[in-house]
Structure 1
Amino acid sequence: MKNQASKLTIGLAISFMSAIANTAIANQIVFAQATKQQKCDISVYVTDKDPQGLNVRNGASSNNRILGKVPGNETVQIIATSGSWAQIKNIGSGFKGTGWAYLPNLGISTRGYNTNGVNIYTSTNPTSRKLGRVPANTSVKLLGCQGQWAQVEYKGIKGWLARLDQCGAALTSCS
């Protein structure tokens, strides 16, 4: 009886360690897939309301070290995204260099000065289907980017904004 209890205990311990190891491996796979970087080249502006400025970190996580700060309304260039983080280069004042910023703290507007607005497309191709129009000089929610295209949301419509229709400056219409 004592021998059977020992075998059962050992079997349960091995099963438990196997479950932990499999969970850790699965989490690493999911994390690796979620952190795939997307290369970009768009200008945006800081929308963070913190009077100290937008935190720029040395990695795509709030757990990473803060390298510096970029003031509100300052223009920055996104060179890559990973999940809800953007790798930026500051092209104005404030933090100089490259680092990571939380994507929801960055914004973009439309151009289209003296027009009836700009198109939002289903993909990063100007021949793709048009989902709708956004009025000129309108702030839109920035969701991400790919190449020179900005992924945006306007009034519940999510799509892609062409480079010529983007304004990455907060205090001007880019016209």
Structure 2
Amino acid sequence: MKNPAVFAFVFLALTPIRVCLGQTAERQACNVNVDVTDTDPKGTNVRATPGGAAIASLKNTTVDGWIGVHVTGQLGDWYEIDRANLIGADQPAGGKVMFRGKGYLHKSVVGVSGMQNGGAVYLDHDIRSGLVDPRAAGDQRVDLLGCWGEFLKVHIKKGTGWTTAVCTNMNTTCS
């Protein structure tokens, strides 16, 4: 070819290119319970796929209750759930089932109430790893960042780490 630019264009046009746009993170398996923290009075949408169509709405119909969800996986900013229960003093033990099946909640609508007083926060999702905090205070702010197996990745006053000792009771600090 006489024109190298044309050759380069044709070569690139015929070469398969792997594009990452629109791909989501790999699913991380989890087995944890967290709370719905969304305060929208219309409820929180459970979606069929991350960012997809709403398949259910979770609405707290109690004065002193809250909604707890069981997380089975995480895909980027989305948590995969298999059930949601309305929990409160006027509900049966374990709560009233509000949703059962596979659905997704965005990370912005779930969280935890705090730490179990004295719970350990580890550097990694392994109890043999070092400690961020060996006895975390129960009455501190806890930001939920992710999950891995039975561990939740959290940010607390002393830093970011992994724990199984969170509080999922919206009416107490578990301290």
TM-score over 0.5 (shorter chain): yes
CA distance in structure 1 between the aligned counterparts of 2:161 and 2:101, rounded to whole angstroms: 30
Letter in 1 for 2:109: N
TM-score norm. by structure 2 comes to 0.75
Aligned structure 1 segments of 4 or more residues deviating by more than 4 angstroms: 7-10
Residue matched to 1:126: 127
1:76 aligns with 2:69: yes
Give the 3 Å change call, closer, same or farther, for CA 53–8 of structure 1 in structure 2: same
Residue matched to 1:151: 153
TM-superposed deviation, 1:137: 4.2
Letter in 1 for 2:105: A
Letter in 2 for 1:105: V
CA distance in structure 1 between the aligned counterparts of 2:38 and 2:132, rounded to whole angstroms: 28
The percentage of counterpart residues that share the same residue type is 24
The answer to whether the Cα contact below 8 Å between 1:104 and 1:143 also exists between their aligned partners in 2 is: no
TM-superposed deviation, 1:156: 6.6
Give the 3 Å change call, closer, same or farther, for CA 9–137 of structure 1 in structure 2: closer
TM-superposed deviation, 1:173: 4.3
Aligned length: 157
CA distance in structure 2 between the aligned counterparts of 1:139 and 1:75, rounded to whole angstroms: 18
CA distance in structure 1 between the aligned counterparts of 2:122 and 2:146, rounded to whole angstroms: 14
Give the 3 Å change call, closer, same or farther, for CA 138–88 of structure 1 in structure 2: farther
CA distance in structure 1 between the aligned counterparts of 2:99 and 2:74, rounded to whole angstroms: 19
Give the 3 Å change call, closer, same or farther, for CA 91–105 of structure 1 in structure 2: closer
Letter in 2 for 1:147: G
CA distance in structure 1 between the aligned counterparts of 2:85 and 2:57, rounded to whole angstroms: 12
Residue matched to 1:53: 43
Q: Which runs of 5+ in 1 are unaligned?
A: none
Aligned-residue Cα RMSD (Å) equals 2.8
TM-superposed deviation, 1:97: 2.5
Task: Name which one, 1 or 2, has greater alpha-carbon Rg.
Answer: 1
Quick check: which one's helix share is greater?
1
> SS state of the match for residue 92, structure 1?
strand
1:96 aligns with 2:100: yes
The answer to whether the Cα contact below 8 Å between 2:132 and 2:158 also exists between their aligned partners in 1 is: no
Letter in 2 for 1:52: K
1:14 aligns with 2:10: yes
